[in-house]
Chains A and B, each alone.
Chain A
Amino acid sequence: DVKVTQSSRYLVKRTGEKVFLECVQDMDHENMFWYRQDPGLGLRLIYFSYDVKMKEKGDIPEGYSVSREKKERFSLILESASTNQTSMYLCASNVGGLAGERGYFGPGTRLTVT
């Protein structure tokens, strides 16, 4: 079974703090994604990576950055957390390549910024 794990299930941070969310997948997937989930807005793509050290902006990248130093690990960074970044953050991965679309999600990190 594909396993996508996220470093924390719940996180509380203060405004202005630097926040790191970690995601690890164990299936040698090429592509990794960070989504944000908010009530009534569904899942919105923040950033994705199709290879080590490669990254692409998604629909809502402002206020976020990412890092992918190893194939299995994809980090989301909030440089200076703000209250409007309080949300559920979901990491996902897929194989990539031909017919490799199937995406697998981690359990999510619920971040509260006070």
Chain B
Amino acid sequence: GENVEQHPSTLSVQEGDSAVIKCTYSDSASNYFPWYKQELGKGPQLIIDIRSNVGEKKDQRIAVTLNKTAKHFSLHITETQPEDSAVYFCAATYSGAGSYQLTFGKGTKLSVIP
């Protein structure tokens, strides 16, 4: 089955700096890679996702890059703000099966210091 490794487990940045979280996956058949943000006391919320036919996707201050050859993908947050503080999860799945069981990384706790 799929295995997703996520690094780092904790990350502290100064407000305004960039943050990068990296994930690797094991199953070359995986072709859908979402990122979730979980704020304290809430369920995970999808913030951005990418399919394997795309190398990069941006949405305002967040971007995701995918390297299929190396089997890794990364989340980039620019101009970080205190409200970006949360736990971030990456995930991977093969979207041809219909059920889309996601395999998650163990999460990164991001702290943005004002």
Contacts and interface: CB of A to CB of B under 8 A. Distances in A.
Contacts of A45: 101-103
**Could you say which interface size class chain B belongs to?**
20 to 34
Given A42-B89, A42-B107, A43-B89, A103 B102 contact: yes
Contacts of A99: 95
Contacts of B89: 42-43
B100 A100 contact: yes
**Could you say which interface size class chain A belongs to?**
20 to 34
B10 to A, nearest CB: 11
A58 B101 CA distance: 8
A108 B39 CA distance: 12
Interface of A: 4, 31, 33, 35, 40-45, 48, 50, 56, 58-59, 90, 94, 96-97, 99-108
A34 B36 CA distance: 16
15 contacts: A42-B105, A42-B106, A43-B89, A44-B104, A50-B98, A50-B99, A56-B99, A58-B101, A59-B1, A100-B100, A101-B49, A101-B93, A105-B45, A107-B42, A107-B43
